[in-house]
Amino acid sequence: MTSYDLIIVGAGLVGASLAAALRDSGRRIALLEGRPPQPLPQDDSWDVRIYAISPGSRRFLTDIGAWQHMDAGRLCAVERMRVAGDRRSSVLEFSADEIRTEELACILENRLLQAALWQSVQGCDAIDVIAPAEPTALQLDDDAARLTLADGRVLSAPLVVGADGANSWVRQQAGIGAAPRLYRQKGVVANFATEQPHDGVARQWFFPDGILAWLPLPGRRVSMVWSTWDEQADALLTLDAATLCERVAEAGEHALGRLELITPAAAFPLRLLHLERIASHRLALIGDAAHNVHPLAGQGVNLGFQDARELARVLGEAPAGSDIGEHLLLRRYERARKEDIVAMQAVTDGLQRLFNNDNKLLAWLRNTGLAFTDKLGPIKHALVRHALG
Ligand SMILES: Cc1cc2nc3c(=O)[nH]c(=O)nc-3n(C[C@H](O)[C@H](O)[C@H](O)COP(=O)(O)OP(=O)(O)OC[C@H]3O[C@@H](n4cnc5c(N)ncnc54)[C@H](O)[C@@H]3O)c2cc1C
């Protein structure tokens, strides 16, 4: 049996960020990962999985020493955002200048951020990275949590953190029931080279049958996320490259001229997961293990980074020698995160229902609402500032 202060299961973006945040806390950490990241490709291909990182998450990633490992040439700042409804006249626009910030978000590739986080946790005396790891049993006892690995090793700690994604094994072992609501939609993602420059503008179109986003990548490139009903998503995946480019360019009003596919399309099922509890005695959940949101606001991983930051803060404030697996302490983390998570779920779910709908009254309401919000300077700016974290 090996004893630690903390066991983190899952070293995806969120789990690795928590370990990095606690690197200098004086606590011994076991970081378990089932599928360690692959070495980065040596060619100049682009990852199909792209994130819009909010300024708040960027600050956190800088504070924990991960951002410094990112290649600046692969990052792209969003300077302006343009959101269009399904009526041409209803458009909402805002810019970083308007709200006096440097950027609205930073667009980057999953595998580069994963590699940067991995670099910041490896080689630390305080962190034992165990990968590949296959946990087989978890006991949450009064005095400690005990986790058994397939190779027979047993790890114990006052606290286990589940950072193991949407289908969290830790959550299941702890008996926390999860009943996700399936949107019956998929997010189809792909990257394109564009004929015209994007000028740092992120574009989004709301249609009755889906939501299309083009996020700017460095150079004349964009990343697409097209969330749409399962049948239509599956149909998009069967298109040959030329037809897909034509479909995507047309849906985006040919805003950037002709498109050329540079990363083949892939798709992810979309779901809403809300849990009543994200902490209990000896257990805390963070990231997708704790919540899933529709990707229309690009906030999933940003919510996860805020979980990691908050949990690190609560653990950091615990008096030396105290039991960090105490439910009373962990409830402070749960309470601190509740409002943010519920608000993001309500907004993304509400927008998805409002827009992906054929009802004529709702069509009038959503288009009028977009155009009206565009004219409400201070309210629009306050909304944007909140989203920046
Ligand atoms: C189409 C789509 C587009 C998206 N776009 C955005 C976006 O633009 N911006 C944004 O912020 N978010 C976006 N998201 C959401 C984002 O992908 C997730 O919120 C994010 O990946 C969650 O990170 P995580 O570390 O919590 O979980 P994961 O990324 O799922 O990581 C979990 C880790 O745990 C490991 N693991 C799992 N089980 C075990 C086990 N039993 N033992 C050991 N290890 C285990 C896995 O191997 C993995 O490494 C998008 C999601 C979708 C579906």
**Domain ranges within the chain, ordered by starting residue:** 2-42+112-180+273-352, 56-109+183-271+357-387
- The pLDDT, as a whole number, for residue 23 is 96
Q: SS3 of 139, please? A: strand
State the average pLDDT over residues 127-155: 97
- The pLDDT, as a whole number, for residue 99 is 78
> Is it the case that residue 174 has pLDDT exceeding 70?
yes
State the average pLDDT over residues 209-214: 92
Residue 148 C-alpha to ligand 1 middle, in angstroms?
24
> Is it the case that residue 44 has pLDDT exceeding 60?
yes
- The pLDDT, as a whole number, for residue 70 is 96
- The pLDDT, as a whole number, for residue 386 is 62
Distance CA 183, CA 120 (A): 36
When pLDDT is cut at 50, 70 and 90, the band that residue 345 belongs to is confident
- The pLDDT, as a whole number, for residue 217 is 98
Which among 9, 39, 223, 44 has a CA at the least distance from the CA of 115?
39
Distance CA 327, CA 321 (A): 16
- The pLDDT, as a whole number, for residue 183 is 84
Probe ligand 1: pick from 54, 129, 155, 164, max atoms within 8 Å of CB?
164
Which among 161, 267, 269 has a CA at the least distance from the CA of 224?
267
pTM above 0.75, yes or no: yes
User: 118 vs 41, 66, 169, CA distance in Å?
Assistant: 16, 8, 22
- The pLDDT, as a whole number, for residue 328 is 95
> Is it the case that residue 304 has pLDDT exceeding 90?
yes
Architecture of domain 2-42+112-180+273-352: 3-Layer(bba) Sandwich (3.50)
- The pLDDT, as a whole number, for residue 323 is 97
> Is it the case that residue 195 has pLDDT exceeding 70?
yes
- The pLDDT, as a whole number, for residue 382 is 63
Distance CA 134, CA 140 (A): 18
Distance CA 210, CA 229 (A): 7
Q: Ligand 1 pocket by C-beta < 6 Å: which residues?
A: 9-15, 32-35, 51-52, 133, 135, 163-165, 169, 187, 189, 225, 268, 287-288, 295, 298-302, 304
- Ligand 1: atom nearest CA of 13 is 25
When pLDDT is cut at 50, 70 and 90, the band that residue 383 belongs to is low
Residue 355 C-alpha to ligand 1 middle, in angstroms?
26
What are the contacts of 362-368 at 24+ separation with CB within 8 A?
A: 363/86, 363/87, 363/208, 366/85, 366/86, 366/90, 366/206, 367/85, 367/86, 367/87, 367/89, 367/90, 368/90
Classify each residue of 66-93 as buried b or exposed e, where b means 16 or more C-beta atoms within 10 Å of its C-beta.
bbeebeeebbbebbbbbbbbeeeebebe
What is the average pLDDT score of the chain? Answer: 91
Q: Are 159 and 8 in contact (CB under 8 A)?
A: no
Q: SS3 of 383, please? A: helix
- The pLDDT, as a whole number, for residue 90 is 79
CATH topology of domain 56-109+183-271+357-387: D-Amino Acid Oxidase; Chain A, domain 2 (3.30.9)
Residue 83 C-alpha to ligand 1 middle, in angstroms?
26
State the average pLDDT over residues 328-338: 96
Q: Are 261 and 226 in contact (CB under 8 A)?
A: no
- Phi/psi region, residue 372 (left: phi>0; alpha: psi -120 to 50; beta: rest), is alpha
Same fold, 2-42+112-180+273-352 and 56-109+183-271+357-387: no
Looking at the chain, the whole-number percentage of residues with pLDDT higher than 90 is 73
What's the token pair of residue 101?
């910030």
User: Nearest 5°: CA angle at 87, between 86 and 92?
Assistant: 85
